[in-house]
A = this chain, B = another copy of it.
Amino acid sequence: MSGVTRRERVRSATEREILTQARGLLVREGREAVTLRAIARNLGMTAPALYRYFPSREELLHRLVEEICSDLAELITTRARTADTGEEMGAVLTVCRTFRTWALAHPTEFELVFASQQAGTGTPTDGPTAHDQFGSIFLRVIAGLPDFEDEELAPSDDDAFPEPMRDELVAYRREMVTSLGELGVETTEEQLTLSAVYLILRWWGRLYGHVALEVFHRFPFTVSNAELLFESLLAELVAEASSGGGCPTRAGRSLD
């Protein structure tokens, strides 16, 4: 029952080795150094041979992005699974810390995947990209939080947001439910409050912002202990999450 012939096996093997060598070059010498000729050289081949596997360098980089996303997704999910449950929201915090640590250890990969324009624009019709697959990691982990199953704990708060914002969040929720469904997590829109959706959005925005600033050294000051700032950010997010995480205007008015 050799569903895969010997040819197919050796082909996918070299295909993976091409990506491995490309990634090594990216990590060691930066994006510009990911050259067809350099990859082929490391493989003992010539550059045109790579065109038997990838239609262009652009497409090779795109596949590389997907591979990086997959690996990162796997890293984060395993770390989140083995997280100590003692801490409040331990899984989510582990996800965030793992993401930061990975980004700092792999700056070139972070830049390619999360801070470039063309990487996300694949062929628009070919289903969910691996990047979407990555973005859903956070959704999956957050879906495991205790608040998530207690739907009566958080009754419909649709009225808490002003009109246009509400519509926007409703669309996000719909999208998020389907995304979770594709991941095997069955959820209904009633279980997911708009506040929770909005909280997730803020969470990702702040996590991404801090990590990118740290990777690119774009803080307004010379930050000597960025981890301290990061932990402070996480504490802030946990506090907002446990307080319900409402909409900003409501929070602002509640202070008057």
Q: Is A107 on the interface with B (CB-CB < 8 A)?
A: yes
Q: Is A12 on the interface with B (CB-CB < 8 A)?
A: no
Cβ contacts A134-150/B at 8 Å (1 or 0 each)? 01101100000000000
Check B221–A120 contact: CB distance below 8 A.
no
Q: How far is the CA of A172 from the CA of B222 in the complex (A)?
A: 8
**Contact (A216, B115) CB under 8 Å given A168-B224, A176-B221:** yes
Check B208–A236 contact: CB distance below 8 A.
no
In chain A, positions 114-130 with a C-beta closer than 8 Å to chain B are 114-117, 120-121
Check B216–A117 contact: CB distance below 8 A.
yes
Q: How far is the CA of A243 from the CA of B252 in the complex (A)?
A: 8
Q: Is A36 on the interface with B (CB-CB < 8 A)?
A: no
Check A111–B107 contact: CB distance below 8 A.
no
Please give, as numbers and ranges, the residues of chain B lying within 8 Å of A136 by CB-CB distance: 220
Q: How far is the CA of A249 from the CA of B236 in the complex (A)?
A: 7
Check B111–A221 contact: CB distance below 8 A.
no
Q: How far is the CA of A136 from the CA of B216 in the complex (A)?
A: 17
Cβ contacts A216-256/B at 8 Å (1 or 0 each)? 11111111110011001101101100110001110110010
Q: Is A43 on the interface with B (CB-CB < 8 A)?
A: no
Please give, as numbers and ranges, the residues of chain B lying within 8 Å of A233 by CB-CB distance: 202, 205, 248
Please give, as numbers and ranges, the residues of chain B lying within 8 Å of A107 by CB-CB distance: 117
Please give, as numbers and ranges, the residues of chain B lying within 8 Å of A223 by CB-CB distance: 168, 172
Check A252–B225 contact: CB distance below 8 A.
no
| A195 shortest CB reach to chain B, Å | 12
Q: How far is the CA of A225 from the CA of B252 in the complex (A)?
A: 22
Q: How far is the CA of A204 from the CA of B236 in the complex (A)?
A: 16
A235-B248, A239-B252 are known contacts; what are 5 more A-B pairs with Cβ within 8 Å?
A: A108-B117, A205-B233, A206-B209, A208-B212, A209-B210
- The 8 A-B pairs with the shortest beta carbon distances in the complex, nearest first, are A209-B209, A239-B252, A236-B248, A115-B115, A135-B220, A235-B248, A172-B221, A205-B209
